[in-house]
Amino acid sequence: MENIIYPLLGGALIGLSSSTMLGGIGRITGISGILGGSLQKNSSEDLWRLFFLLGLVLGGLGMKVLYPQFFTYQFNFSYVTYIVAGLIVGFGTRLGSGCTSGHGVCGMARLAKRSIVATLTFMAFGIITVAIKGLI
Amino acid sequence: MSVLISILSGILFAVGLVISGMTNPNKVIGFLDILGNWDYSLAFVMVGAISVSFVAFKYFQNKKPFCAPQSFLPTNTEVDKKLLIGSAMFGIGWGIAGFCPGPAIVNLATFDMKAIVFVIAMVVGMFVFKLYSKTQ
- Total length of chain B: 136
Express each pLDDT in A106-135 by its tens digit: 999 999 999 999 999 999 999 999 999 999
- Total length of chain A: 136
Q: What was the ipTM of the complex prediction?
A: 0.97
Using alpha carbons, select from A61, A64, A32, A62 the residue that is nearest to residue A49: A32
B115 contacts in A (CB within 8 Å)? 75, 82
Using alpha carbons, select from B80, B81, B84, B90 the residue that is nearest to residue B125: B90
Mean pLDDT of the region B60-86: 94
Using alpha carbons, select from A92, A21, A58 the residue that is nearest to residue B93: A92
Instruction: Write the residue in A11, A29, A74 that is nearest to B44 by C-beta.
Output: A11
- Number of domains chain A contains: 1
Using alpha carbons, select from A122, A127, A7 the residue that is nearest to residue B46: A7
Contact B22 A10 (CB under 8 A): yes
Which pLDDT belongs to residue A18?
Answer: 98
B88 secondary structure, DSSP code: H
CA distance B136 to B131: 9
Express each pLDDT in A6-24 by its tens digit: 999 999 999 999 999 999 9
Q: Does B90 touch chain A (CB under 8 A)?
A: yes
Q: Which domain holds residue A112?
A: 2-135
A105 contacts in B (CB within 8 Å)? 46, 49-50, 53
CA distance A18 to A106: 7
Express each pLDDT in A62-81 by its tens digit: 999 999 999 999 999 999 99
Chain A contact probe: residue of B96, B133, B134 with most A CBs at under 10 A: B96
A121 contacts in B (CB within 8 Å)? 83-84, 87-88, 91
Say if CB A63 and CB B15 are below 8 A apart. yes
